[in-house]
Amino acid sequence: MNLGTPATVHSTTVRTAKPVPPWKTEPVTLVGDAIHTMVPAGIGAAVALRDAALLCRRITDRTSPLLDSVHAYETTMLDYGFAAVARSSTAAAEYTRLLAWAGTR
């Protein structure tokens, strides 16, 4: 910060999702930040793309009713999605700790 140009720096609020329990599957579902937004740690977009790919695969490969396929997607997505949220929060906390440590040097 001391070496930067203060006028080019601004703060912003960063939020992270809290785990939600599974819901009754309907014809509308959620992917990406709409369900598991996370603090920036370099993986949010990748997890959103994983959602899209998995949902597409569950629907196109299905041998059972459509909502069963959507439900299977939601079950898997909630698991890895909120694991990614937790990992991002841990990484951000570590990064903040390192910045604070560097600031004391």
Ligand X SMILES: Cc1cc2nc3c(=O)[nH]c(=O)nc-3n(C[C@H](O)[C@H](O)[C@H](O)COP(=O)(O)OP(=O)(O)OC[C@H]3O[C@@H](n4cnc5c(N)ncnc54)[C@H](O)[C@@H]3O)c2cc1C
Residue tagged 């999605």 (tokens):
81
Per CB under 6 A, the segment of 15-23, 34-42, 63-71, 94-102 that binds ligand X is: 34-42
All residues at 6 or more sequence positions from 2 whose CB lies less than 8 Å from its CB, including other chains: none
- How far is residue 1's CA from residue 11's CA, in Å, rounded to a whole number? 12
44 near ligand X, judged by CB under 6 A = yes
Residue with the closest Cβ to ligand X?
32
Per the structure block, which two tokens stand in for 70? 């959507």
Q: Could you tell me the smallest distance in angstroms from the CB atom of residue 64 to ligand X?
A: 27
Of residues 12 and 63, the one with the C-beta less far from ligand X:
12
Of the chain, the end-to-end C-alpha distance in Å amounts to: 14
Q: Could you tell me the smallest distance in angstroms from the CB atom of residue 6 to ligand X?
A: 19
Where on the chain is the footprint of ligand X (CB under 6 A)?
Answer: 32-34, 40, 42-46, 48
